[in-house]
Amino acid sequence: MSFFDYLSNRIQEADSLLCVGLDPHPELLPRATAEEARDFCRKLIEATADQACAFKPNSAFFEVFGAEGWTALREVIVSVPEGIPVILDAKRGDIASTGQAYSRAVFETLGADAVTLSPYLGRDSLEPFLADPERGVFLLCKTSNPGADDLQALSIEGVEPLYIRLARMASAWNTMDNLGLVVGATDPVALLQLRRAVPDMWFLAPGVGAQGGDLEAVLQAGLRQDGLGMVIPVSRGIARAEDPRVEAIRLKQMINSVRESLSESTAPVLPLNLTALADELLEAGCVRFGQFTLKSGVKSPIYIDLRLLASQPKLLARVASAYLPVLKNLGYDRLAALPYAALPIATAISLQIGRPMVYPRKEVKDYGTGSAVEGGFERGDKVVLIDDLATTGGSKFEAIERLEAAGLEVTDVVVLIDRQGGAVQDLAEAGYQLHAVFTLSQLIEHWAGAGKVSQQQADEVNEFLGIRD
C-alpha cells in the first residue's frame, strides 16, 4: 500500500479532508515546557481524532525544548490513533548520508508517516524519504509566506514560473504514489495553475483561517475531479477556538459542503488542466473554421495547423507538457518525432523530461551517412512515435516502417489531437496503439459550450467527423 492509498482510506473512513495542525505556540501553553506542549497536543488529538484525515505536528515547537521536546514530539505521534496518518512538518532536505539520517529520524525514531521537505537540493535529496512507498513526502512548491515569490515565481526560460516547473518535475518523480506538494491556500490562482499542470498529484494546502485563505476558493481551485487530491491543514483556527472539537466539526462540514456542490456540477468536457490549453490553441490561430481543401481534395469545415507552435515558444512548452501524463504510462527508451510539425513538439518534450529523441527522415539522403533515421540509438531501442495530429494513420505507418527498418521497436503513437478519421482503428489492426491528448469532438464540444465557436460551426465539424482525408 502506498502512502496515498493509506491517506485515501482514512479520508473515506472519516469522510474528511481536514488535517488538524499540532502547533503548540508558547502563548497557548500555561508554561513553556515540553510537557505542556505534549499535553496540549494530546488534548487536541483526543478532541478531534474522529474528524481528522491526518494530524500535522510542527517539529519546531518541540525542538525548541531540546532533548525533552524531541521526546515529547515522539509521545505526541504515538498518541495519534492507529489508522490516522501523521505528517511531520519539518521542512527537511539534504543529500547523501545526511538525508538518510534525517529520513531515519522522521520515520523510524519519531514514527511519522510523512514529512514536508525542501526541494532546493534536487531529486537525490528526496530519495531517502521516497524509498519506502508507505512513507510520504510533501514537497514545498508554492508557499504562502510573504517572501515566497522571491524564488518560487521566478520565470524559467521565459516560459513558466519555477513553482510550475517544480510541480512537473515532482510529478515525474512520483513513481511510487508517495510524493505530493505543499501549496499555500492564500493564492487560489496559483493553486488552479498547479492543478492544471499536475492533475493527479496530492496537495497539502496550509493557510486557511488565520493566514486568510478562503476555504471555498481553495477547494474549487485545487480539488481533483474525484473530490480528493487535497489535505486542508488548520492549526490556530482549531487550537484557539473556544471548543476545538466544535470548530473541527464545523470546518469538516464546510469542506464537505463544497465538495458536494462541486460533485453535483456538470462534469466538464475536458479535464481542468486541459481547458486553458484548448482555448489557447484556438486563440493562437492553430484551429480555424471555414472551407478548406484537404490534400485528398475533400472540403473540410475546420483546419488545424500546429506548425504555428514553432513561433510561439510559451504555447509550445505548454503543448509539450500536455503530452507528459500520457507518456508517463508508457515504456520507451527514446522519443521519435514525425517530421515536420512534430519536430519542435518532441524537442520541447525532450527538454522537459530529459529523454533523447530521434526522427525518421522524409527523404533519405543519397550522400553522407545516408541515414533514414537521424539521432543516436541502438538496435532494439523502444521508441514512442510523437506527432501533432492523427487522421487515418497513413503518415504514421510510413514513419514506423523506417524506424523499424533501422532496428527500433515501436508500439505506441502519441498525438495532441485525434481528428477521429479512423487512425485508432487502422493502427490497432496493425498492432500499434494511438494515444491522444484531445479528440476533435472533445475540443468542439468544449469550445461550443464555452461560446468560443458557434453552434453552426460545431454542427458542421461534427457532421464532417466521419469523413477521412
Is 153:128 a contact under the CB 8 Å cutoff? no
The three-state secondary structure class of 291 is strand
Beta-carbon count within 10 A of 171 CB: 19
Is 469:444 a contact under the CB 8 Å cutoff? no
CA distance 434 to 385: 9
Is residue 299 among the annotated active site residues?
no
What ranges in 23-112 are assigned the alpha helix state H? 34-48, 60-63, 67-78, 96-104
C-alpha cell at 390: 492523427
CA distance 164 to 195: 10
Q: Residue 358: name the closest of 379, 336, 387, 380 by CA.
A: 336
CA distance 75 to 210: 27
C-alpha cell at 161: 514560473
Under 8 Å CB-to-CB from 248, ≥6 apart: which residues? 18, 20, 47, 48, 51, 52, 238
CA distance 51 to 246: 10
Q: Which of 43, 56, 91, 314 is catalytic?
A: 91
CA distance 202 to 186: 17
C-alpha cell at 234: 488548520
CA distance 326 to 79: 42
Sequence-separated contacts (24+) of 337-341 with Cβ below 8 Å:
337/386, 337/387, 338/385, 338/386, 338/387, 338/395, 338/396, 338/399, 340/307, 341/306, 341/307, 341/309, 341/387, 341/388, 341/389
How many Å is the Cα radius of gyration of the chain?
Answer: 26
Q: Residue 318: name the closest of 430, 164, 462, 144 by CA.
A: 164
Is 413:396 a contact under the CB 8 Å cutoff? yes
Write out the catalytic residue numbers.
Answer: 91
